[in-house]
Amino acid sequence: MSDHPAVDPIERAHLRDARGFTPPVHRFAPSPELADVVRRYWLPVWSLPPEEVSVQRVLQYPVCLVVVAHDYARVIGPTTGLSTRELAGSGWAVGVMLQPAAGSLLLGGPITITDASLDLESVPTLDGAPLVAEVRSAMRADPSEVATQKRAITAFETALRVLAPVDAEGMLVNAIVDYVEGESAVQRVGQVCEKFAISERSLQRLTARRVGLSPKWLIQRRRLHEAAQRLRADGDLDLARVALELGYADQAHFGRDWRRVTGLTPGEFAAEPRPAVGPSS
């Protein structure tokens, strides 16, 4: 089994709940041969007091997710708004964040599950039932133990090898999304077109087919991820300056974008309690 090193536990897309609470989330890198298929694995493990519910909030990346939990197993398409998940009692999940190009490889065609999901066992490219059974069998031991988690990851890696190697168009999609997410200076779709020598119409068709989203959405979501990181780090930020640095025309435009996606104003989010990680059992 490859080492699957742990990756940075700080995740700017994960907004946690309104109290600043998140359960422990264990994140691991894929093996090198699957780096073009998988971004990372993440495994939340939680144990909450009776009758307590935590609504975890995520500004999802432009990718599909594959999740096997103790009580469900699904492929989740890109979520244009705020993704939420209620946690109660004790539980765990083993999640795979695919690379942008891998969703269509998994589905066997264009992305048709934006803001939707489907049962993992119905996916044509994977033998879903044995995979679900193997992951759940691995996690029956202490789910908070790294050795247990890596056994579950190994089951996923074995199944996902059918998606490798990624095709040339898929590699282009991965590169485009990496560029948009990694370069704060990218504020216009035209900059992406120039970087990759592609027309705007071709770019729109490519991302619609392979990611299920528009190039403009990719840029906007990167902005919101950056905003979340800044607002969480310093609740006393000058919001007008943040808006300007993120490429918005003014604070009002930034505030509307943030509120439309999260349901909160930037000031309300910044005033929430700082993140707290709860114990698991």
Shared domain check, 149 and 20: yes
Phi-psi region of 232 (alpha: psi -120 to 50; beta: other; left: phi over 0): alpha
Q: How many percent of the chain have pLDDT more than 70? A: 94
CATH of the domain at 235: 1.10.10.60
Verify that 104 and 204 share a domain, yes or no. Answer: no
Q: Is the residue at 5 inside a domain? A: no
pLDDT value for 14? 87
Q: Are residues 151 and 207 in the same domain?
A: no
Q: Checking DSSP bridges between strand 276-277 and strand 83-88, what pairing results, if any? A: unpaired
Same domain, 96 and 224: no
Same domain, 32 and 159: yes
Band the pLDDT of 237: cuts 50, 70, 90. Answer: confident
CA angle 24, 26, 32 (to 5 degrees): 170
pLDDT in tens, 173-182: 999 999 999 9
The predicted pLDDT at position 11 comes to 75
Spatial distance between the Cα atoms of 104 and 107, rounded to a whole number of angstroms: 5
Does 124 share its domain with 220? no
Q: What is the pLDDT of residues 108-158, one digit of tens each?
A: 999 999 999 999 999 999 999 999 999 999 999 999 999 999 999 999 999
- Predicted pLDDT at 10: 62
* Domain annotation covers residue 4: no
pLDDT in tens, 32-83: 999 999 999 999 999 999 999 999 999 999 999 999 999 999 999 999 999 9
**DSSP for 174-206, written as a single string:** HHHHHHHHH-TT--SHHHHHHHHT--HHHHHHH
pLDDT band per the 50, 70, 90 thresholds, residue 232:
confident
pLDDT, mean of residues 195-221: 98
Segment among 22-26, 65-69, 168-172 with least mean pLDDT = 22-26
Is the confidence at residue 8, as pLDDT, over 80? no
What pLDDT does 192 receive? Answer: 98
Q: What is the mean pLDDT of the chain?
A: 92
148 occurs within a structural domain: yes
Residue 1: which pLDDT band, with cuts at 50, 70 and 90?
A: very low
Dig out the tokens for 251 from the structure.
């604070």
Whether residues 125 and 60 fall in one domain? yes
pLDDT of 269 strictly over 60: yes
Tell me, rounded to whole angstroms, the distance of Cα 224 from its chain centroid: 13
Tokens of 120: 């993992």
Closest listed residue to residue 92, CA positions, set 72, 76, 111: 72
Helix (H) or strand (E) holding 66: strand 65-69
Closest Cα partner for 184 from 240, 244, 269, 100? 244
Q: Does residue 32 sit within a domain? A: yes
Supply the pLDDT for residue 279.
Answer: 43
Contacts of 21 (CB under 8 A, 6+ apart): 54, 275, 276, 277, 278
Q: How many CB atoms lie within 10 A of CB 10?
A: 10
Instruction: Look at residue 172 and tell me whether its pLDDT is greater than 70.
Output: yes
Name the DSSP class of 255.
H
Q: Is 8 inside a domain boundary? A: no
- Provide the number of structural domains found in the chain: 2
Q: Are residues 145 and 211 in the same domain?
A: no
Same domain, yes or no, for 102 and 189?
Answer: no
Residues 27 and 151 in one domain: yes
Q: Would you say the pTM of this structure is higher than 0.75?
A: yes
* Domain enclosing residue 258, as ranges: 168-270
